[in-house]
């Protein structure tokens, strides 16, 4: 590429890790940091000590608290921000963007009020001339920053765009696959966080390995039901952004969503847990959107329903588990298009 400069909007753990990777790949990275005090600290110490401590940030990474400075003349913008801030920030970006900008979403979630994926929010708020794509998969920020072997998916409506993203992010420790199902990729990335909370709750209750495996497998069915109802391809959910991300987030100890569930299952109060966790736990809010989506499309999704009731209606976790065991079902894959 002639202009090897990229804007990364969001300096949480994932945004910082991807900035490290891009800088290692030879790109100049304009990293937008929401918190001014943190931005100043990163400039002084070359470390994001709040969200990804222990990593020296390359001189190719330029932290800024100004969206205007972060965008500059760059035509490739990577969004790595919590879902509930996407609409506000994308609206602020509109006057700053080149008309033919490529906007890559690396966030995971579903907006509560609109029930939109992040891509759908961007479609509604950004100029129609912008290209949109999604980057998602089973990747912990810490391991990407450490350069550990990983795989991820670049999804776009056009193969050319997906291949461009593949070329930008590929390196000797990150294998990038391409997909033409961005809605499926985003739904998988969002809903797996809910199932990770559920498996955490189950493990916190010491329900056993059998229960964990059942929740992951049946959670994948519920994800696929909702995804296909929204127009996604069923096979997407058997790939990296569905099953792959589900396994990682439901079993990996670095998963914030799993840790939230574990602590709930052990009897801790949700408000106290959320105060302790510094970074975003997307599944906590996404479960509200998923609950509304399943009701909207009349989809049988008992795991999502019971997790919603635990998180937002104060249902005791052990009662939710009992309710799951008493659900009447007929067929393992009933209600999934294409299966």
In the chain, what are the domain boundaries? 5-180, 183-325
Q: Which residue has the higher pLDDT, 231 or 336?
A: 231
Average pLDDT over residues 262-287: 91
CA distances from 123 to 282, 332, 339 (A): 21, 35, 30
- Cα separation, 95 vs 120, whole angstroms: 19
- Summarize pLDDT for 106-135 with one digit per residue, the tens: 999 999 999 999 999 999 999 999 999 999
Chain Cα centroid distance, residue 75: 23
What is the C-alpha to C-alpha distance for residues 150 and 172, in angstroms, rounded to an integer? 10
Active site residue 113: no
Tell me the C-alpha distance between 120 and 132, whole Å: 10
- Rounded to whole angstroms, the Cα distance separating 63 from 39 reads 6
Q: Give the tokens for residue 226.
A: 């909702």
pLDDT confidence of residue 275: 85
Confidence of residue 3 (pLDDT cuts 50, 70, 90): low
**Contact, 260 vs 225, CB < 8 A?**
no
Q: What is the pLDDT of residues 164-178, one digit of tens each?
A: 999 999 999 999 999
Residue 1 has pLDDT above 50, yes or no: no
Region 183-325: CATH code: 1.10.1040.10
Q: Which residue has the tokens 């972060």?
A: 70
Asked if 184 and 227 touch (Cβ cutoff 8 Å), the reply is yes
Neighbours of 123 (CB within 10 A): 14
Task: Give 289-329 pLDDT, tens digit per residue.
Answer: 999 999 999 999 999 999 999 999 999 999 999 999 998 87
241 secondary structure, DSSP code: I
Q: Give the pTM.
A: 0.94
* CB-neighbour burial class of residue 113 (10 A; exposed 0-12, middle 13-18, buried 19+): exposed
- Which residues have C-beta within 8 Å of that of residue 226, sequence separation ≥ 6? 187, 191, 290, 293, 294, 297, 299, 301
- Integer CA distances (angstroms), 61 to 6, 148, 172, 326, in order: 10, 21, 20, 53
Q: Would the pLDDT of 95 be above 90?
A: yes
Cβ burial, residue 94 (10 Å; 0-12/13-18/19+)? exposed
pLDDT digits (tens, 9 = 90+) for 191-203: 999 999 999 999 9
Output DSSP code: residue 119: H
pLDDT at residue number 4: 92
**237 DSSP assignment:** G
Same CATH topology for 5-180 and 183-325: the answer is no
In whole angstroms, give the CA distance from residue 92 to residue 102: 16
> Minimal CA–CA distance to 243: which of 255, 234, 230?
234
CB 305, CB 194: distance < 8 Å: no
Task: Pick left, alpha or beta for residue 146 (phi over 0 → left; psi -120 to 50 → alpha; otherwise beta).
Answer: alpha
Point out which residues pair with 9 in neighbouring strands.
32, 79
Residue 187 pLDDT > 70: yes
The two structure tokens encoding residue 206: 């010491």
Instruction: Using alpha carbons, select from 208, 307, 209 the residue that is nearest to residue 264.
Output: 307
* Assigned superfamily of 5-180: NAD(P)-binding Rossmann-like Domain (3.40.50.720)
- Model confidence at 38: pLDDT above 80: yes
pLDDT at 278 over 90: no
Best CA proximity match to 165, nearest among 174, 173, 30, 109: 174
Of the candidates 108, 192, 294, 309, the residue annotated as catalytic is 192
Q: In this model, does residue 46 exceed pLDDT 60?
A: yes
């Amino acid at each position: 590429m002639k202009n090897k400069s990229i804007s990364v909007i969001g300096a949480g753990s994932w945004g910082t890790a991807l900035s490290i990777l891009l800088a290692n790949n030879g790109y100049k990275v304009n990293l937008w940091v929401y918190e001014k005090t943190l931005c100043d600290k990163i400039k002084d110490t070359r470390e994001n000590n709040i969200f990804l401590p222990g990593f020296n940030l390359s001189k190719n990474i330029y932290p800024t608290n100004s969206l205007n400075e972060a965008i500059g003349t760059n035509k490739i913008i990577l969004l790595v921000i919590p879902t509930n801030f996407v609409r506000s920030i994308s609206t602020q970006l509109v006057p700053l963007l080149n008309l033919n900008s490529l906007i890559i979403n690396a966030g995971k979630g579903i907006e509560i009020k609109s029930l939109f994926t992040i891509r759908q929010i961007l479609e509604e708020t950004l100029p129609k001339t912008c290209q949109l794509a999604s980057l998602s998969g089973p990747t912990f920020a810490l391991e990407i920053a450490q350069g550990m072997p990983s795989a991820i998916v670049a999804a776009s409506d056009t193969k050319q765009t997906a291949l461009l993203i593949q070329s930008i992010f590929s390196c000797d420790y990150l294998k990038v696959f391409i997909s033409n199902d961005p809605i499926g990729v985003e739904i998988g990335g969002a809903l797996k966080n809910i199932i990770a909370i559920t498996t955490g709750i189950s493990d916190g209750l010491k329900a056993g390995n059998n229960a964990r495996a059942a929740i992951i497998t049946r959670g994948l069915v519920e994800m696929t039901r909702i995804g296909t109802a929204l127009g996604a391809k069923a096979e997407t959910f058997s790939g990296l952004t569905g099953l792959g991300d589900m396994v990682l987030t439901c079993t990996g100890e670095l998963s914030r969503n799993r840790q939230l569930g574990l602590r709930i299952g052990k009897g801790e109060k949700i408000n106290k847990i959320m105060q302790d966790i510094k970074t975003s736990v997307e599944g906590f809010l996404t479960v509200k959107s998923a609950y509304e989506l399943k009701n909207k499309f009349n989809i049988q999704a008992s795991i999502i329903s019971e997790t919603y009731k635990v998180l937002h209606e104060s249902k005791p976790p052990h009662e939710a588990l009992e309710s799951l065991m008493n659900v009447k079902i007929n067929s393992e894959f009933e209600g999934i298009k294409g299966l």
